């Protein structure tokens, strides 16, 4: 299946692009992130802790829902799903 990933700052700066389309090995969000980090190894330390967990300074939306409203990294995806990766920041 094909998954479209939209990267926002600072992840877009690190990967060098804002949009990536990948065919992940596997169907969960975790699998997609792993495939993404294989393509762009510098992203690995931004997205993952040493333990392998996704860090809190990353937020991920699957289509229109945050990962936390689904099954976190175990969320199963289907073909043409869109993933949004960004840093959660506040402000005014």
Partner 1 sequence: MISFPAKLKVGTYYIPHCLKFTTDTQEVDSMLKRKLGIIDLSKEKISIQDVSESLRKKLLGGRGMNMYYLWKMLPEGIDPLSPENLLIFGTGFLSGTLAPSSSRFNTSAISPETGFLGDTNCGGFFSAEMKYAGFDRLILKGKAKKPSYIYIEDGTIEIRDAKGYWGLNTLDVQKAFRKDLGQVEMVVCGVAGENLVRYACLRTGIKNAGGRTGMGCIMGSKNIKGVVAHGGMGIEIAHPEEMLKTVEELKDYLLSSKISPILGSVGTPLLYEVSNVLGGIRTKNSQLNAWNDNFNASEVEKFVEKMISCSSCFMHCRHRNTLGGEGPEYTALSLLGTNLGIEKLEDCIKMQNQVNDLGLDVSSTGTYLAWVTELYERGLIDDKLTGGIELKFNDYETYSKLIDMISRREGFGDILAEGQWSAGKLKDPKHDYLIEVKGLPQSDPHDVRYMKAFALGIATSSRGADHLRSRPTLEIFFKLPPEVRNKIYGAEIANDPATLDTKEHVVAWSENIFATIDCLGMCKFICHGFNSPHFVDYDWMKRLINTAVDWNYSDSEIREVGPRVLDIERLFNLSRGMTRAHDTLPKRYFDDPAPLRTAKGHHVDRKEFAKALDRFYEVRGWTNEGMVKKPRIEELEAIA
Among 2, 10, 16, 17, binds partner 1 (CB under 8 A): 10
- Contact indicator for 37, 43 with CB cutoff of 8 Å: yes
Residues 6 or more apart in contact with residue 78 via CB below 8 angstroms: 1, 27
Question: Minimal distance in Å, beta carbon 78 to partner 1?
Answer: 17
Which of 35, 81, 91 lies closest to 61 in space, CA to CA?
A: 81
Among 41, 51, 52, 56, binds partner 1 (CB under 8 A): 56
Among 4, 9, 17, 80, binds partner 1 (CB under 8 A): 9
Which of 16, 11, 47, 41 lies closest to 29 in space, CA to CA?
A: 47
Pick the stretch among 19-27, 30-38, 79-87 that binds partner 1 (CB under 8 A).
79-87
Decide if residue 64 touches partner 1 (CB under 8 A). Answer: yes
Which of 12, 36, 15, 16 lies closest to 24 in space, CA to CA?
A: 36
Point out which residues bind partner 1 (CB under 8 A): 6, 8-10, 13, 46, 53-61, 63-69, 72, 84, 86-92
């Amino acid at each position: 299946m094909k998954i479209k990933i939209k990267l926002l700052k600072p992840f877009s700066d690190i990967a060098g692009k804002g949009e990536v389309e990948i065919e992940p090995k596997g169907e969960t969000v975790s699998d997609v992130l792993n495939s993404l980090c294989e393509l762009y190894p510098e992203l690995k330390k931004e997205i993952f802790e040493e333990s392998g967990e996704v860090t809190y300074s990353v937020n991920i939306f699957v289509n229109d829902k945050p990962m936390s409203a689904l099954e976190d990294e175990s969320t199963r995806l289907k073909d043409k799903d869109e993933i949004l990766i960004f840093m959660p920041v506040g402000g005014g």
